[in-house]
Structure 1
């Protein structure tokens, strides 16, 4: 492509804001284009554009006065945006960027997400039209092309940082784009919605449990001095079958068959399945846990499993560890707070990726151990026989009911089954992980019911055992030898250093609380203040304090959870209920101050919740 000043300016702007687009452009083969574009001057002197596929040519804009036509169409869209209280515009098709340029000045649109399905068309545009104002705008996020890995990574970022709910989004698709790229657009919208739902589920979980997780992490740190690291188990199961046992309702059909494995494969038991396994006199090689809720503790309460190693995330409910008599193995589920502590100690710990369920973590553990094949048992991911869990679990009897909005999923027999959004998220995660595994590993779905998991071979459990469990592996002996010949994850020599980390954290949280208390006083004054000069002075103090808070935040370990607990609730409340703009409502000053005041108060509550837990942990570490 011949470079000109317009192209160079656009590329420079892209390199600064969207370097991943530069990578795409450099790796893209623009020969043999399916769609060709033609950018030319309209009758009024502005640029217009057409797309041609095969012999059909379609104009995206008017040949005569493209800008006025765009403006007329967008006025309707803007009315719909206001009416629906949308604050994010998802624009399908960049075109010449006229729609974006018009929308950039609308105050009530916080973000504009642009999906351009064709890299070649994008190249033609940046060669002919200056779109640096679009590229440089902090409101705009550009999503380009159809590279799966790039798309999913970028969309995950967008869904985590830009938009919370599908209800926030106003989708505008150029009708002509839909004629040219119907399949690409359909696939993109489905992926976008799936990722958005997944991130919404994760965010809702964070909001509900962030402080509980922090409490558990703080209380569980002393147990790291008596736990082993998951690192020692890397490649431990090379070419050994691994059976991941979940507590879906189909486990009732084949749980007894698990006895036939007889140490010729490893049994990784999820915590929910532990009680039914023990009730049926089946001893797994290990049990894995991640959930920090009180309900998760109930899965272990009054259960004897002293000879079964517990693999746990530091977020797990602290009562589980306080009562655990078995050997413990710590792994990271991308636990940010733990990572900060370990970084200070210069100690590494392997992460086990998770899609939100303990079975997801179990699969990551089996892959980390290099097991092959990996067999899923009791992994229904659907309401088989209108049940959610197997007999004998915490959720048995009257509590084993469907409590979320129903969805439909294809079963292993091709028939549709009822499920819910959370289970679909777990299913999608399984399928993505299996798809990305390039190690020729065999994945088997031996659930004998439930949802079809793409990438797995469906087999009866009896046939799996007969086919893959032919050689004794002495797994119990190997487990014990490995643990007995390993040291604990954190040695005693680090105890004073860990105590110092928590003492620093306590100091920073108290400093943070003092600044917040000053901000509360200022907000209370500002609510009734009418003197513009005083208002500016107080706002300057708030701005200075916010910078101090930012500095303290960078020095602390647990402030992220405090902020998550307080800030996300308020942000979501504003997005769902207020949706107001300063130019539209005279009461916005009061609303903004009320929200700020509430935020500061919630942050203080969260800090006051965490401080005594840290003090207790320090005392426990000292003793």
Structure 2
């Protein structure tokens, strides 16, 4: 078997360039061993499977053409496809001309090596048109969440179906096909589950941020906190409010001076009742429900780390507050870097972990991170302000997951399960920065953490006293006023941008409405010109920092959903397809105009209050 070293090296270099470095490293290690034990490549690029004593293709040319034609016919005008099996990569190369992205899933390292020595995919790999996914890679979930969350991907995830490269895979990889299909569908749901157009959270978060800006600019600047404290101590304990927390409290109280304690707001009352003083309390609630967590007086040096989109009443109540902007375009656009940026996530414990990482902690011990009900059916620790059996947790659909320690199963629900996946994503991405020790001793097993009892963690990591820090000061009043003026100027620019897009979108909507209600036979050339007008507006929307800052993400998902319905109908006639495309876009414009108008009102209210 003669591998084409030149082609193979070009393809591996393309993988290393950023499209999939872990796969490239695995291939390089594999090639050093030269252990092709199962597959070999013939001169005509057919692959022989020694285990099953069969060639991959009964008739190479005919089967390639059959699957090429079938996949194109099954996905007309699709922006992407997912393909199981790389085979000899000739089909991948041929299909790449027709899609923005092709995601190729494969479990056999030998087949990756053979394929990448047969066909030059370096341009496709470098550009991101073709992405190769090792389905046995430990961090494959992380890879999928990153890939599917791309701006030109998440809108069209409802088009997903898994195609196979050839008949060989359906014969010998039936179970693998089923498993990877379920895995992909699960992670698509994680990406799109929170993109509910009826959710009030994006607008509420935005309104809170606008209202909080003056108070934020008078709080402790996040960058000042980092400059004074980053890297000054190695060991942190992140405390969540899961039911397993109660059994750890006595030991935590004894060792609290030997670790920096990050406390999710829901566990604050429980800690204070045991005379445990947290160093940081995190909060990111959009509503004022979390006020119930702050009924007791906090220690004088505790820092309240608060998301800038937290309910304004929280900021009014708390002292020693460090209001932090999220690492998202909507906040980054305002240029207030002294008060950001941090990927606080959607769950308060996530906020605690990223804050600990940003402060440079190398050892992070997790307590109360159950993400599951305990044996008694409790959802939270004793002392949780809304009760151990919080009724809100009963509303969600339940499912079973692998339990802590890998022994048996635990009962969770989909919201907790989403949190678990997102925490695993966080931990896998930061594995080189810190080591995460799950000392919860209960609940669900969380990947990319080492399970260790809290007693063992204390013996191994808590050997010296933590430093004492003074509470950092806020900005001088004159500087705070200058930043507020800068904030107001940016908001005024956003107001004008919003009005321009409202005018353009309304004009196009009215034009489409007139066209579709004209009851005329619309010529193909005319419909093509209408689509060109739509694409012109789309280009403006897709390249606008204002429109793409995340605030309207759910609305753009609806654009993809409505167009996906048209694409799913697989209309062959171009004229009929364009007609339905225009109808779908008009329907979406109505949603977009409504959302844009709501955002405009939020900006106007914020400017009026200034």
For the aligned pair, the TM-score class normalised by the smaller chain equals 0.7 to 0.9
- Structure 1 unaligned runs (5+)? 42-47
Q: Deviations over 1:556-601 (max 9, x none)?
A: 3x65345313221343355479832332798655543332223222
CA apart distance, 1:440: 9.0
What does 1:6-21 align with in structure 2 at a 5 Å threshold? 7=7, 20=19
Q: Which residue among 42, 46, 49 is the counterpart of 1:49?
A: 46
Structure 2 distance, partners of 1:512, 1:135, is 35
**Closer, same or farther: CA 101–580 of 1 in aligned 2, 3 Å:** farther
Which residue in 2 is equivalent to 1:34? 35
Does 2:221 correspond to 1:229? yes
Q: Deviations over 1:483-516 (max 9, x none)?
A: 1487689633333222211111111111111111
Which residue in 2 is equivalent to 1:142? 131
**Closer, same or farther: CA 112–435 of 1 in aligned 2, 3 Å:** closer
Structure 2 distance, partners of 1:439, 1:144, is 22
Q: Which residue among 340, 345, 357 is the counterpart of 2:347?
A: 357
Structure 2 distance, partners of 1:57, 1:119, is 19
Contact 1:355 1:425 in 2 (8 A): no
Structure 1 distance, partners of 2:61, 2:320, is 70
Structure 1 distance, partners of 2:109, 2:442, is 43
Does 2:240 correspond to 1:243? no
Equivalent position SS for 2:502? helix
Which residue in 1 is equivalent to 2:54? 58
Contact 1:247 1:393 in 2 (8 A): no
Contact 1:289 1:358 in 2 (8 A): yes
Contact 2:304 2:321 in 1 (8 A): yes
Q: Deviations over 1:316-339 (max 9, x none)?
A: 233322x23312113344222111
Equivalent position SS for 1:113? strand
What does 1:504-519 align with in structure 2 at a 5 Å threshold? 504-519=493-508
Q: Deviations over 1:458-501 (max 9, x none)?
A: 3246x7567765655463xx142xx1487689633333222211
Q: Deviations over 1:298-323 (max 9, x none)?
A: 555766559443202223233322x2
Structure 2 distance, partners of 1:75, 1:549, is 34
Structure 1 distance, partners of 2:527, 2:186, is 45
What does 1:246-325 align with in structure 2 at a 5 Å threshold? 246-255=240-249, 258-261=252-255, 263-278=257-272, 282-291=276-285, 293-294=286-287, 297=290, 299-300=292-293, 305=298, 307=300, 308-321=302-315, 323-325=316-318
**Closer, same or farther: CA 249–489 of 1 in aligned 2, 3 Å:** farther
What does 1:609-620 align with in structure 2 at a 5 Å threshold? 609-620=598-609
Q: Which residue among 438, 445, 451 is the counterpart of 2:438?
A: 445
Does 2:336 correspond to 1:337? no
Contact 1:265 1:473 in 2 (8 A): yes
Structure 1 distance, partners of 2:181, 2:411, is 23
CA apart distance, 1:520: 1.1
CA apart distance, 1:536: 5.5
**Closer, same or farther: CA 37–318 of 1 in aligned 2, 3 Å:** farther
Which residue in 2 is equivalent to 1:389? 380
Structure 2 distance, partners of 1:117, 1:488, is 60
Structure 2 distance, partners of 1:488, 1:439, is 40
Equivalent position SS for 2:43? strand
**Closer, same or farther: CA 180–472 of 1 in aligned 2, 3 Å:** same
Q: Which residue among 498, 505, 509 is the counterpart of 1:520?
A: 509
Equivalent position SS for 2:597? helix
CA apart distance, 1:430: 4.3
Structure 1 distance, partners of 2:424, 2:15, is 35
Structure 2 distance, partners of 1:524, 1:153, is 43
- Structure 2 unaligned runs (5+)? none
**Closer, same or farther: CA 420–74 of 1 in aligned 2, 3 Å:** farther
CA apart distance, 1:604: 1.9
Structure 1 distance, partners of 2:139, 2:404, is 30
Equivalent position SS for 1:384? coil
Structure 1 distance, partners of 2:431, 2:233, is 15
**Closer, same or farther: CA 593–246 of 1 in aligned 2, 3 Å:** same
Q: Which residue among 197, 210, 214 is the counterpart of 2:206?
A: 214
What does 1:483-502 align with in structure 2 at a 5 Å threshold? 483-484=472-473, 491-502=480-491
Q: Which residue among 395, 403, 406 is the counterpart of 2:399?
A: 406
Which residue in 2 is equivalent to 1:572? 561
TM-score, normalising length from structure 1?
0.77
* The 10-residue stretch of structure 1 (579-588 or 447-456) with the greater mean CA deviation from structure 2: 579-588
Which residue in 1 is equivalent to 2:410? 417
Structure 2 distance, partners of 1:581, 1:76, is 13
Contact 1:143 1:151 in 2 (8 A): no
**Closer, same or farther: CA 169–536 of 1 in aligned 2, 3 Å:** closer
Q: How many positions carry a matched residue from both structures?
A: 591
Q: Deviations over 1:238-276 (max 9, x none)?
A: 445432221112224444554434544332111222344
**Closer, same or farther: CA 602–153 of 1 in aligned 2, 3 Å:** same
Which residue in 2 is equivalent to 1:94? 86
* The 10-residue stretch of structure 1 (10-19 or 167-176) with the greater mean CA deviation from structure 2: 10-19
Contact 1:242 1:266 in 2 (8 A): yes
Structure 2 distance, partners of 1:222, 1:616, is 14
**Closer, same or farther: CA 606–305 of 1 in aligned 2, 3 Å:** farther
CA apart distance, 1:377: 1.8
Contact 2:19 2:128 in 1 (8 A): no
Equivalent position SS for 2:442? coil
What does 1:50-199 align with in structure 2 at a 5 Å threshold? 50-51=47-48, 58-62=54-58, 65-69=59-63, 89-97=81-89, 99-100=91-92, 112-117=102-107, 121-122=111-112, 124-125=114-115, 128=118, 135=124, 141-143=130-132, 148=137, 154-161=143-150, 162=153, 168-172=160-164, 174=166, 176=168, 192=184, 195-199=187-191
Which residue in 2 is equivalent to 1:44? none
CA RMSD of aligned residues (A): 4.8
Structure 2 distance, partners of 1:12, 1:317, is 50
Structure 2 distance, partners of 1:33, 1:489, is 68
CA apart distance, 1:353: 4.2
Structure 2 distance, partners of 1:351, 1:215, is 19
Contact 1:243 1:266 in 2 (8 A): yes
CA apart distance, 1:59: 0.9
Structure 2 distance, partners of 1:374, 1:22, is 27
